Amino acid sequence: MRVGDDRTKTWRDAAGRGPIAAAGPRSVRAIGTAFAIQFAASRPLGAPMRAWALAIVLVLGVGACLDALRGRPAHADGARTAQASWAASHFRVDNPAHLDDEAAEALYRKLVDRMAGLYELSREPNVEGYTRWPRYVRSPYLAAAHGNRYHTIYARSPEGRYGRYERAGEMLPGTAIVKDSFSVSEDGQVHPGPLSLMEKLEPGSSPETGDWRFVEIMPDGSLFGSSTGPSRENVAHCATCHRAVAQTHDWLYFPPPDYRVDPAP
């Protein structure tokens, strides 16, 4: 296995674009504004040219102000793309078909802080600091049905109930369970994957999902869906599948038995 391969000093995103193109339209707009201001200020221009340059400054400047008002710094998307791209492009494994538990764990340790930092960009409060919660698998486990993704489960559960697995009974409000993921493609490329979250709400908050809130966060930190938000359709399939164990285990499936850490007493 080889990790930390940084032969390509200049990163490219998935579409092969370099830093400027991938920085997104907002950065291009900022560069355009700067250029137009310089042009208007430094050249002795005829009146029509000066008017054109001023018009460009106004249009681009208003756009930048709107971005600021919406609370989105002009560089945020570009920075996010660059970070996500870092995580995706700097890791390769030589023999993806034989990533044993030890190798999966070693690779995960190199990735996890960077991945967690990206998930936190979603501003989902239940994701903050999740890697310091109790972890319930001894190494990332492979779910081949899900794009060769390796999953790791953490839970913040009052009384450590999640760790009693099938004997846990109903989870208490405030419980949050996080499952992060990364994948290794056939040619050894390592990619951070989405993060799944279940949060137990106060009784009666969401009867149709057993008072669980289902959330999915993309590896670049964008919120894909939350079952209590406008994007609930995107995560409807979560409850559909988890409902199968609603009666027996309060909607929980628990980690594969051979990966579980010792159950709590």
Asked if 235 contacts 226 with a C-beta cutoff of 8 angstroms, the reply is: yes
- Single-letter residue type at 84: A
> Which residues have CB under 8 Å from 38's CB, separation 6+?
none
Nearest distance from residue 193's CB to ligand HEC, in Å? 11
Nearest distance from residue 201's CB to ligand HEC, in Å? 14
CA 33 from centroid of its chain's CA atoms: 32
User: Which helix (DSSP H) or strand (DSSP E) does residue 143 occupy?
Assistant: strand 141-143
Asked if 116 contacts 180 with a C-beta cutoff of 8 angstroms, the reply is: yes
Residue 86, CA atoms < 13 Å, CB-side half-sphere: 12
Rounded Cα distance between 180 and 230, Å, is 23
Residue 157: Cβ within 10 Å count: 22
Nearest distance from residue 256's CB to ligand HEC, in Å? 6
Nearest distance from residue 3's CB to ligand HEC, in Å? 24
Asked if 180 contacts 186 with a C-beta cutoff of 8 angstroms, the reply is: no
Question: Count of H helices and E strands in the chain?
Answer: 7, 7
Token reading at 238:
């979560």
Instruction: Enumerate binding residues for ligand HEC (CB under 6 A).
Output: 143, 151, 153, 177, 179, 196-198, 214-216, 235, 237-238, 241-242, 252-255
Nearest distance from residue 147's CB to ligand HEC, in Å? 13
Nearer to ligand HEC by Cβ, of 22 and 195: the residue is: 195
Nearer to ligand HEC by Cβ, of 3 and 143: the residue is: 143
Asked if 250 contacts 169 with a C-beta cutoff of 8 angstroms, the reply is: yes
Nearer to ligand HEC by Cβ, of 25 and 174: the residue is: 174
Nearest distance from residue 238's CB to ligand HEC, in Å? 3
Nearer to ligand HEC by Cβ, of 118 and 252: the residue is: 252
Nearer to ligand HEC by Cβ, of 26 and 151: the residue is: 151
Nearer to ligand HEC by Cβ, of 30 and 198: the residue is: 198
